[in-house]
Amino acid sequence: MTNTNRYKYYFYSLLALLVIVLLFVSNTLSISYKEALNVFVNTSVLTYITNTSLYIFGQNDIALRLPFIVFYILSVILMYKITDKYFTYESDRLISIGIFMLLPGVLSASLLVNSAIIVIFLTLLYLYYYKLTNNHSYVLLFLFLFVDNSFAILYLSLFFYSLKDKKSKLPWISLILFALSMYIYGFSTVGKPRAFFLDTFAIYASIFSPLLFMYFFYTIYRIGFKQKEKSLTWYISTTALVLSFLFSFRQRVYIEDFAPYVVISLPLMLKIFFHSYRVRLKEFRKKHNIGVALVLLMLFINVFFTIVNKPLYLLLPNPKKHFIYKYDFVKELAQELKKNNINMVSSNDNELLLRLRFYGIKEGTKHFISLEKFDTYKLKIIISYYNRKLYKVYIK
């Protein structure tokens, strides 16, 4: 019991530290165009959640991202609860939850205004209910229908999982919910057929980290072909992975729809890894130790650059290649405009106008702002990070 309490203390300490980091980082980001659409234009569950937070805490960057940090906290706690008694050793459980907390895809989902972290939380909630009761919550499944289109993947995976039990109601209910989801949200087939398989593979590798994603493939294969009993989590993750790759042969997939169902499989991967690790004598664990060291190193590098991302602009010849570029500059630009007593602008760049609106710069005809230089400009504003000029606007 003392040992369990000690690891529980480590878990909550790490969670508290990461939440502080996320709050800090959220205040360094500017609102992106897609996020601004969710605040001012769209009418979805995501919009209502975001605007509720802004209404309560004020229109600022922390309030914008706070709901998703809360969903991150709840998701991590649920994953911790789900893995209770799942591992032989409590230390294995701590390592598993620690890696889950540090996954690049999970961390980024908690900072950006998108549905991925909400889908992760609700899926884990469903799995936790199933773990406690050994029953499927049809109420939750029905409610999920109105949250996000990606729950169609969950319904399909539940259909495959339920086929082994012919007496269950789940096959019919999951199939009906899948059909309703397709009817409500539809399925995009826009554009010419084109293979994006490698792009999808690369995005998954960035979400997990390359080595971890390769081991995920091995885990899916091993459970699929060498184990008779397959868990519900395996069905969910495998269905999402296979569908995403099948669709990527024809079109670019919206990875946020699939990734939440893939990352929840992390405990499966680590359970197999620890079993493989411990059946070997110490002198034969060298490859495993190197693999673990590399994975942890890459995860900590990711966390470091999540916190300290601005210096990377000094290394990139093209600033637009920075992973955080579309979340930068606009807050600083709004501050400079206000310093020059400019509170209303017009522009041909509607995306820039919508982003500036979040920081109190409204549309008006007195000043015109552009990213392109023109001859009669009145004012030039340059946004620099570490003395490198990165973003210029011209005003007349």
pLDDT digits (tens, 9 = 90+) for 305-344: 878 888 888 888 888 888 888 998 999 999 999 999 999 9
Q: Are residues 99 and 71 part of one domain?
A: yes
Residue 313 lies in a domain: no
The pLDDT of residue 190 is 53
Which positions ≥6 away from 64 have C-beta within 8 Å?
Answer: 26, 31, 35, 39, 50, 53, 54, 113, 358
- Shared-domain flag, residues 283 and 362: no
Q: Are residues 353 and 290 in the same domain?
A: no
Q: Is residue 301 located within the same domain as residue 369?
A: no
Q: How many domains does the chain have?
A: 2
* Parts of the chain with a pLDDT under 50: none
Residues 238 and 366 in one domain: no
**Side-chain half-sphere of 60: how many Cα atoms within 13 Å?**
10
Residue 144 lies in a domain: yes
The pLDDT value recorded for residue 166 is 67
Q: Are residues 71 and 189 in the same domain?
A: yes
Final residue before a domain boundary, out of 284, 308, 332: 308
Tokens encoding 210: 């390359």
CA proximity to 121, closest of 253, 267, 264: 264
Give the strand order in the sheet containing 344-346.
344-346, 362-370, 388-395, 379-385
Residue 359 pLDDT: 94
At 346 the pLDDT is 93
Q: Which domain holds residue 83?
A: 2-308
| 276, 308, 340 - which closes a domain | 308
Q: Do residues 108 and 36 both lie within one domain?
A: yes
pLDDT at 142: 95
pLDDT at 193: 57
Q: Is residue 315 part of a domain?
A: no
Q: What's the rounded Cα separation, in Å, for the pair 179 and 25?
A: 40
The reply to whether 248 and 348 lie within a common domain is: no
**Do 67 and 14 share a domain, yes or no?**
yes
- Residue 145's pLDDT is what? 93
